[in-house]
Chains A and B, each alone.
Chain A
Amino acid sequence: MISIIDYKAGNLKSVERAVNKLGFPCKITQKQDEILNSERIIFPGVGAAGKATEDLRQLGLDQILLQSFKQGKPILGICLGAQIILDKSEENNAICLGLIKGNVIRFPSPLLSPEKKRLKIPHMGWNGVKLLKEHPVLKDLKEEDEFYFVHSYYTLPASEKDIIGMTNHGIDFSSIIGHKNLIATQFHPEKSGPAGLSILKNFCLWSGTDVE
């Protein structure tokens, strides 16, 4: 069973529908024992870092995530779920979970394209990802694949080793990060068509290892 962690943050059903479509059993849950007993975890999220981290702590799920991470359970963070696994976020100055060392910062303003045109924030829409290394979950990615993003903040891992993919929106930022059994995408794989579904599928089959 795959646990989709429910901490009141955003539309979890779209993740559930996509995972079901791929034929994997999953459950939206906030029960600690259910999450600890599940085979893998999807940690989604839409909303603000302050409220999200507060809700997680109130439900005791920060500790459950930490414990699951240490046990080696495969974990997939999505969007806000990819951000609050770092140490700290500029959004609401939230103290986050610290599963990956680093911070979450806001896009600089004004943000300019190479042609010096002003770019909009949030970064919203389809964009590509340049992979810096191979990863079992990303093995089916093609160079031209694009993914659906909606965010105003981005992750800045302390160690370059934790950056798996980069995207450009005025600046280059890390759009896929990972450490050991944890991988996280800034974009929404569940809303990114077949390319996104392939990431979800490979995550559902991933042992959580084979990563240097």
Chain B
Amino acid sequence: MLSKRIIPCLDVRDGKTTKGIKFKENIDIGDPVEMAHHYYLQGADEIVFYDITASSDHRDIMIDVVRRVAETIFIPFSVGGGIRTLNDMRQVLLAGAEKVSVNSAAVKNPQIISQGARSFGSQCIVLGMDVKKVQATPDIPSGYEIVIHGGRACTGMDALEWARQGEDMGAGEICLNSIDADGTQNGYELVLTALISSNVNIPVIASGGAGNIDHLQEALTRGRADAALVASIIHYGTYSIKEIKDTLALKGVKVRKNW
């Protein structure tokens, strides 16, 4: 039986993580390679890097980070943010990432999903979705709309329809981020997560809203997510990944415990 995956998410700008890990000893680490290694040793099942570097001139810095991470950790990791073309994908994958994640770029040019899947295999292509709850309308029957640019721009696209389309076009996984829940630490958006996860046949990673371990448990059971993304609750040292996994295991969620 598959384990539910716990996936730390690191935001990287100009080669540095935006939130360092605050250890109990108050030592800050801002280097993404060191952070990834730390979480690898703690038992992370996968790591997501999100490149928020504003200028595309600095892409080489991220490629260098990816290369150094690949030499340091031996679990899958994905890179998102700023991936717009097949060539962007190729560079990141060749540098050693297992997967690339496309979000806004796929909304603007859905073909990037099918082209990426054809060139590198579906298992490499993650469709990142930022979703906002709205009034259900004939155009957005699920009541969940796809937004881009961190939630600042609406697209008029139905989230469920987009998830199905992404799967049909060859996405191998969906990373589902609720803009409403993101940053609240009040829990994942369970209705949205269950809706998407039960209607596609590819794994769904729940993202946005984790404040405690119960939230992860809910996302992985009632929310039917295959994996949960965690950021603040581990970066600020509230919990270690081991604590999260031990607690989830006690609550009956199957997680990988030996590493």
Instruction: Establish whether residues B201 and A18, one from each chain, have CB atoms under 8 Å apart when the complex forms.
Output: no
Contacts of A60 in B (CB 8 A): none
Give per-residue flags for A112-147: 1 if the beta carbon is below 8 A from chain B beta carbons, else 0: 010000111111111110000000000000101110
Asked if A146 and B172 make an inter-chain contact with CB atoms under 8 angstroms apart, the answer reads: no
Contacts A125-B45, A127-B2, A193-B74; A11 near B98 (Cβ below 8 A) = yes
The verdict on A21 contacting B201 (CB below 8 Å), with A123-B2, A193-B40 known, is: no
| Number of chain B residues whose Cβ lies closer than 8 Å to a Cβ of chain A | 29
- Please give the distance in Å from B5's CB to the nearest CB on chain A: 6
How far apart are the CA atoms of A90 and B62 in the complex, in Å? 40
The size class of the interface chain A forms with chain B is 35 or more
- Is the pair A126, B3 in contact by a Cβ cutoff of 8 Å? yes
Given A14-B96, A21-B74, A145-B258, CB of A126 within 8 Å of CB of B2: yes
Instruction: Give the residues from 1 to 52 in chain A that come closer than 8 angstroms, CB to CB, to chain B.
Output: 10-11, 13-14, 17-18, 21, 46-47
Q: Does B151 contact A (CB under 8 A)?
A: no
Contacts of A10 in B (CB 8 A): 121
Q: Tell me the complex Cα distance, A118–B199, Å.
A: 11
A-B contact count (CB 8 A): 85
Q: A80's closest neighbor in chain B, by CB?
A: B121
Within the complex, which residue of B3, B40, B201, B257 is in contact with A125, where a contact is CB–CB below 8 Å? B3
* The residue from A13, A121, A123, A146 contacting B256, defined by CB atoms under 8 A apart: A146
The answer to whether the Cβ of B237 comes within 8 Å of any Cβ in the partner chain is no
Contacts of A131-189 to chain B: CB distance below 8 A: 142, 144-146, 148, 150, 168-169
Contacts of B27 in A (CB 8 A): none
Given A11-B98, A14-B98, also A148-B76 (CB < 8 A): yes
B-side interface mostly = loop
Report the minimum CB–CB distance from B176 to chain A (whole Å).
Answer: 14
Asked if A191 is an interface residue, CB under 8 A from chain B, the answer is yes
Across the interface, name the chain B residue whose C-beta is closest to A170.
Answer: B1
Interface stretch of the complex, out of A67-75, A194-202, A203-211: A194-202
Q: Is there an interface contact between A125 and B227, defined as CB atoms closer than 8 Å?
A: yes
Report yes or no: A21 in contact with B45, Cβ–Cβ below 8 A. no
The distance in angstroms between the C-alpha atoms of A208 and B113, with both chains bound, is: 42
Rounded to whole angstroms, the CA-CA distance of A31 and B114 in the bound complex is: 32
A195 to B114: give the CA distance in the assembly, Å.
34
Nearest CB on A from B54, distance (A): 29
Give the residues from 1 to 16 in chain B that come closer than 8 angstroms, CB to CB, to chain A: 1-3, 5
Contact yes or no, A46 B123, CB < 8 A: yes
Known: A17-B96, A124-B203, A193-B259. A169 touches B5 (CB 8 A): no
Chain B residues with CB under 8 Å of A62's CB are none
Closest B residue by C-beta to A113: B1
A residues apposed to B, CB below 8 Å: 10-11, 13-14, 17-18, 21, 46-47, 113, 118-128, 142, 144-146, 148, 150, 168-169, 190-197
In the complex, the 4 A-B pairs of residues with the closest C-beta atoms, listed nearest first: A144-B258, A146-B256, A126-B3, A126-B256
Between A and B, 23 residue pairs with Cβ closer than 8 Å are: A13-B94, A14-B70, A14-B98, A18-B74, A21-B74, A118-B201, A122-B202, A124-B123, A124-B226, A125-B5, A144-B258, A146-B3, A146-B256, A148-B75, A150-B172, A168-B1, A191-B76, A193-B40, A193-B75, A193-B259, A194-B259, A195-B258, A197-B74
